[in-house]
Amino acid sequence: MKRLLILLLMIFAAPAFAQDTMPPAPYAYRQLDNPAQEEKAQALMETLRCLKCQSQSIADSDAPMAGDMRSQVRERIAAGEDPEAIRAWLVERYGDYVSYAPRVTALTWPLFILPVVLLVLASLLLSRRFRRGGTE
Amino acid sequence: MIAEFGLAALWLAAALAGLQLLAGALGLTRGGAALGAIVRPVAIVQGLLALIAFVALIVLFCQTDLSVKLVAMNSHSAKPLIYKFAGTWGNHEGSMLLWVTVMGLAGSFVALVERRLPEPTMLATLAGQAFVSLGFYAFLLLSSNPFERMPQVPTEGQGLNPLLQDMGLAFHPPTLYVGYVGLSIAFSFAIGALITREVGPAFARAMRPWVLGAWIFLTLGITAGSYWAYYELGWGGWWFWDPVENASLMPWLAATALLHSVSVLAARNALRAWTIMLGVVAFSMSMVGTFLVRSGILTSVHAFAVDPERGSFILVLLAIYIGGALTLFAVRAGSVSEGERFAPVSREGALVFNNVMLSAVLGIVLFGTLYPLVAEAMGAKVSVGPPYFNPMSALFVVPMLLVMAVGPLLRWRRDGFARVRAILVIPALLVVLAAIGVAAWGGIGVLPFIGLTLAGGLAVASLLPLRGRSLRRTPLATWGMVVAHLGVAVALFGMASESAFSVEKLVAARVGDTTAVGPWQITLKRVRPVAGPNWTALEADLDASYDGGKATAVHPQARFFWSPPQPTSESALLTRWNGQLYAVLGEEADDGRWQLRLWWKPFVTMIWFGGLMIGLGGLLALLGRVASDLKRYVARGKIAYRRERQGR
Query: What was the pLDDT predicted at A13?
Result: 46
Taking the CA of residue A63 and the nearest CA in chain B, the distance in Å comes to 11
Query: What was the pLDDT predicted at B48?
Result: 96
CB contact under 8 Å between B515 and A10, yes or no, is yes
Of A55, A98, A133, the CB nearest to B341: A133
Output the CA–CA distances (angstroms, integers) from residue B549 to B515, B519, B544, B577, in the order listed: 15, 10, 9, 15
> Does B285 score more than 80 pLDDT?
yes
Q: Which residue has the higher pLDDT, B634 or B488?
A: B488
Kindly report, residue by residue over A42-63, the tens digit of the pLDDT.
999 999 998 887 778 898 888 8
| Least confident interval from A20-24, A27-31, B44-48, B289-293 | A20-24
Query: What was the pLDDT predicted at A12?
Result: 47
Taking the CA of residue B240 and the nearest CA in chain A, the distance in Å comes to 8
Query: What was the pLDDT predicted at B59?
Result: 94
Of A54, A96, A100, the CB nearest to B380: A96
Query: What was the pLDDT predicted at B300?
Result: 56
Helices B386-406 and B347-377 cross at an angle (nearest 10°) of 170
Q: What angle do CA B512, B518, B520 make, to 5 degrees?
A: 40
Q: Which residue of A has its CA nearest to B413?
A: A133
DSSP secondary structure code for residue B186 in this structure:
H
Query: What was the pLDDT predicted at B14?
Result: 96
Q: Which residue of A has its CA nearest to B514?
A: A6
- Which pLDDT band holds residue A17 (cuts at 50, 70, 90)? very low
Distance CA B338, CA B277 (A): 12
Nearest to B124 by CA among B35, B223, B25: B25
Q: Are B408 and B481 in contact (CB under 8 A)?
A: yes
CB contact under 8 Å between B387 and A101, yes or no, is yes
Q: Which amino acid is at B347?
A: R
Strand locations in B81-233 (E): none
CB contact under 8 Å between B506 and A29, yes or no, is yes
Q: Which amino acid is at B16?
A: L
Contacts 24+ apart (CB under 8 A), A60-63: A60/B233, A60/B235, A60/B237, A60/B240, A61/B235, A62/B234, A62/B567, A62/B569, A62/B586
B488: Cβ contacts below 8 Å, ≥ 6 apart: B401, B404, B458, B462, B610, B614
| Least confident interval from B159-168, B478-487, B526-535, B577-586 | B159-168
Chain A residues within an 8 Å CB radius of B592 = none
Average of pLDDT values for B283-305? 75
> Does A8 score more than 60 pLDDT?
no
CB contact under 8 Å between B383 and A49, yes or no, is yes
Query: Over chain B, what is the mean pLDDT?
Result: 88
Q: What percent of the residues of chain B are helix, what percent strand, and what percent coil, each to the nearest 5? A: 65, 10, 20
Distance CA B60, CA B4 (A): 11
Average of pLDDT values for B89-100? 89
- Which pLDDT band holds residue B641 (cuts at 50, 70, 90)? confident
| Least confident interval from A33-47, A67-81, B381-395, B434-448 | B434-448
| Least confident interval from B57-61, B418-422, B433-437 | B418-422
B123 touches chain A (CB under 8 A): no
Q: Are B427 and B460 in contact (CB under 8 A)?
A: yes
Nearest to B108 by CA among B126, B131, B134, B128: B126
Distance CA B2, CA B52 (A): 11
Distance CA A107, CA B143 (A): 35
Average of pLDDT values for B8-25? 94
| Least confident interval from B113-127, B337-351, B381-395 | B337-351
Chain A residues within an 8 Å CB radius of B586 = 29, 62
Query: What was the pLDDT predicted at B305?
Result: 53
Which helix (H) or strand (E) element contains residue B131?
Answer: helix B119-143
Q: Is A70 exposed, middle or buried (0-12, 13-18, 19+ CB in 10 A)?
A: buried
Chain A residues within an 8 Å CB radius of B275 = none
> Does A15 score more than 50 pLDDT?
no
CB contact under 8 Å between B386 and A122, yes or no, is no
Nearest to B315 by CA among B370, B360, B355, B275: B370
Query: What was the pLDDT predicted at B561?
Result: 85
Top residue of A5, A7, A19, A29 to mutate, by most chain B CBs within 10 Å, is A29
Distance CA B138, CA A53 (A): 33
B591 touches chain A (CB under 8 A): yes
The torsion angles phi and psi of B236, rounded to 5 degrees, stand at 75, 15
- Point out which residues pair with B558 in neighbouring strands: B538, B569
Taking the CA of residue A17 and the nearest CA in chain B, the distance in Å comes to 9
> Does A14 score more than 50 pLDDT?
no
Kindly report, residue by residue over B158-172, the tens digit of the pLDDT.
887 777 777 777 778
Gyration radius of chain A's alpha carbons? 23
Q: Which residue of A has its CA nearest to B240?
A: A56
Kindly report, residue by residue over B591-630, the tens digit of the pLDDT.
888 989 999 999 999 999 999 999 999 999 999 988 888 8
Distance CA A54, CA B5 (A): 37
Of B233, B356, B591, the CB nearest to A125: B356
**Residue by residue, what is the 3-state secondary structure of B460-478?**
HHHHHHHCCCCCCCCCHHH
B398 touches chain A (CB under 8 A): no
CB contact under 8 Å between A60 and B240, yes or no, is yes
Render the burial of B628-644: b for 16+ CB within 10 Å, e for the rest.
Answer: ebeeeeeeeeeeeeeee
Q: Which residue of A has its CA nearest to B241?
A: A55
B353 touches chain A (CB under 8 A): yes
B198: Cβ contacts below 8 Å, ≥ 6 apart: B118, B120, B121
Average of pLDDT values for B88-98? 88
Query: Over chain A, what is the mean pLDDT?
Result: 80
Question: CA quadruple B191, B196, B197, B202: dihedral positive or negative?
Answer: negative
Q: Are B345 and B418 in contact (CB under 8 A)?
A: no
Distance CA B505, CA B371 (A): 36
Of B381, B514, B593, the CB nearest to A96: B381
Nearest to B502 by CA among B518, B522, B483: B518
Of B384, B591, B597, the CB nearest to A102: B384
| Least confident interval from B14-28, B47-61, B125-139, B282-296 | B282-296
Chain A residues within an 8 Å CB radius of B293 = none
Distance CA B290, CA B269 (A): 33
| Least confident interval from B50-64, B213-227, B509-523, B627-641 | B627-641
SS3 B518: coil
Query: What was the pLDDT predicted at B523?
Result: 93
Taking the CA of residue B30 and the nearest CA in chain A, the distance in Å comes to 38
Distance CA B468, CA B30 (A): 55
Kindly report, residue by residue over B327-354, the tens digit of the pLDDT.
999 888 777 667 777 888 888 889 999 9
SS3 A104: coil
Chain B residues within an 8 Å CB radius of A125 = 356
Q: Are B29 and B135 in contact (CB under 8 A)?
A: no
Output the CA–CA distances (angstroms, integers) from residue B220 to A1, B247, B252, B415, in the order listed: 47, 15, 11, 35
Q: Are B224 and B606 in contact (CB under 8 A)?
A: no
One DSSP character per residue, B257-290 reads HHHHHHHHHHHHSB-HHHHHHHHHHHHHHHHHHH
Is the preceding peptide bond at B565 cis, omega within 30 degrees of 0?
no
> Does B252 score more than 90 pLDDT?
yes
Distance CA B349, CA B415 (A): 10
Distance CA B645, CA B639 (A): 10
Nearest to B519 by CA among B442, B573, B452, B581: B581
> Does A5 score more than 60 pLDDT?
no
Kindly report, residue by residue over B180-191, the tens digit of the pLDDT.
889 999 999 999
Query: What was the pLDDT predicted at B442?
Result: 74
> Would you tell me which residues 293-312 of chain B have a C-beta closer than 8 angstroms to some C-beta of chain A?
298-299
Query: What was the pLDDT predicted at A20?
Result: 41
> Does B216 score more than 80 pLDDT?
yes
Query: What was the pLDDT predicted at B34?
Result: 81
- Which pLDDT band holds residue B23 (cuts at 50, 70, 90)? very high
CB contact under 8 Å between B237 and A20, yes or no, is no
Query: What was the pLDDT predicted at B303?
Result: 53
Chain B residues within an 8 Å CB radius of A42 = 504
